[in-house]
Chains A and B, each alone.
Chain A
Amino acid sequence: MDKEGIRGIVDEIAALASGSDRMNLMEVCGTHTVSLFRTGAKSLLPETVRLVSGPGCPVCVTSQAYIDLAGELALRPDTTVCTYGDMVRVPGRRGSLEALRAEGAKVAVVYSARDALAYARRNPERHAVFLAVGFETTTPATAATVLEAENEGLKNFYILGGHKRIIPAMHTLLSAGEVPIDGFLCPGHVSVVIGAGAYEPIASHYRKPCVVAGFELEGMLRAILLLVRQAVRYEARVENTYGAAVTVEGNRAARELTERVFEPSDAVWRAMGRIPESGLDLRPAYRRYDAMDRFGLSFGSEVTPHGCLCGEVIQGKALPTECALFRKKCTPREPVGPCMVSMEGTCAAWYKYGPARAEGGGNR
């Protein structure tokens, strides 16, 4: 779509939103946060439409106690922690994995859980612990990899479970009722797995418009247009602008992989605390791949760095610019909180692509 076409959608959004008070739309997914900045979408939107970031950045919602355990494992002389690049710079109490690597911790950055398995295969004398983080899109990959380890009879591969489920977090956010949200821009790739239908309860129970979008400029703007249109008409339906990849029912094969290996469990989210059924534990049949069990670990206490508003930011309660540490004590170079670490963390995106003005709206 050319610039004129994009301009047309933006004008339509502006016209629809012009008659109402400011609208707050939540982009649930961290990749949307980054894409909205990177494509310039944020700069195109009228001031009447404000986007607030939600709890959909796996790094940002991973508890500090989890990072501390990962560090503890990486410092064991016979253990290598295999991780997606995202987790390497997240600060724990003893420092990030990157900092611990400088102290001799073994950390291998992998692109896929399958690469972690390959590492275990190549290094039979070492324990390989995979940091299993991510939402519904990433969980089936971990599940399939555990099944593969089982199939091969690998004895030196484990996971440190940190997978999360997004729908329970949305429920928690909405039932707390502290954030005025007029609609949800729903994550594209999570929806590939869980299906657009998964948001029906959110739309009907809380009367919130939900629109699934991919990560291209056009798709995101179309989704925002649909959200605004629903909001001004007081409608609350689930719509989908990402038909190329997302169906109503999602990917059953992927969900079956997850269900075979994992069972829902309560999980601690950074700053949001314990959310029922929002995490996943290995089922008893696969418990021997659990690094916590194998190495006799338990989560330590959760300490929030003084003054850090990451918890409020991931719930849409605060903008990064409202945090006293933002750009001062907390920068990508020396992040205090996880939202500044993750490439898709809200604070990192604001820091990097920063809105031209102190608000998340446009600068037209």
Chain B
Amino acid sequence: MCLAVPGRILAVREGAESAIGRIATIDFQGSRVEASLAMTPDAAEGDWVLVHAGFALTVLDEEEALETYASLRIALGDDPAPEEPANDTREP
């Protein structure tokens, strides 16, 4: 019913106060999306937030977020792709 994904606030555009609150740049492990902090007035740089359709829904507790989201665990340490390629470059 509602997709929402955890991301981390990289920067908050202060001074961009408007009816819909501050605008922040949020990092999703390598993609950055602008989202409104209208629903999370207390969110600050460095916070993990849950983002849905261009809006931060809530601030996540970092520890709980890392425990809850398997994708974050994969992204932050347990890379499913082989990091080290085979160094064998012999011509067949």
Interface residues on A, range: 35 or more
B36 partner residues in chain A, CB cutoff 8 A: 114, 141, 144
A190/B38 in contact, CB under 8 A: no
Q: How far is the CB of A103 from chain B (nearest CB, A)?
A: 28
What 0/1 readout, one digit per residue, does chain A (105-122) give for beta carbons within 8 Å of chain B? Answer: 000000111110000000
Contact with B along A133-159 (1 / 0, CB 8 A): 011011011001101101100000000
Contacts of A138 in B (CB 8 A): 2, 52-53
Which residues of B have CB within 8 Å of A84? 53
Assess whether A332 is interfacial by the CB under 8 Å rule.
no
Q: What residue of chain B has the Cβ atom nearest to residue A255's Cβ?
A: B39
Question: Contact partner of A141 among B54, B65, B70, CB < 8 A?
Answer: B54
Q: Could you tell me if B19 and A251 are in contact, using CB atoms closer than 8 angstroms?
A: no
Least CB distance, B91 to chain A, in whole angstroms: 40
Q: Interface centre among B18, B58, B61, by most A CB within 10 Å?
A: B58
Contact A31/B20 with A115-B54, A141-B54, A189-B57 known, Cβ cut-off 8 Å: no
| A-B interface pairs (CB < 8 A), number | 117
Given A114-B36, A151-B18, 14 extra CB contacts under 8 A: A56-B1, A112-B55, A137-B1, A138-B2, A147-B20, A187-B1, A189-B50, A192-B58, A193-B57, A217-B70, A244-B65, A244-B69, A245-B60, A257-B38
Residue in B1, B38, B70 whose beta carbon sits within 8 Å of that of A253 in the complex: B38
B1-27 vs A: 1/0 string, CB under 8 Å?
111100000000000001111000000
Q: Please, how many angstroms separate the alpha-carbon atoms of A254 and B19 in the complex?
A: 13
Answer whether residue A30 sits at the interface, using C-beta atoms and an 8 A cutoff. yes
Chain B, residue nearest A58 (CB):
B1
Interface residues of B (CB under 8 A from A): 1-4, 18-21, 35-36, 38-41, 50, 52-55, 57-58, 60-61, 64-65, 67-71
A293-B55 Cα distance, complex, nearest whole Å: 27
A135 touching B21 in the complex, CB below 8 Å, given contacts A113-B53, A192-B50, A245-B58: no
Set of chain A residues within 8 Å of B41, measured between Cβ atoms: 253
18 inter-chain pairs at a CB distance below 8 angstroms, sorted by A residue, are A29-B1, A31-B1, A113-B54, A114-B20, A114-B55, A137-B2, A138-B2, A144-B20, A144-B21, A147-B20, A148-B19, A192-B58, A214-B68, A216-B69, A217-B70, A244-B61, A245-B58, A344-B1
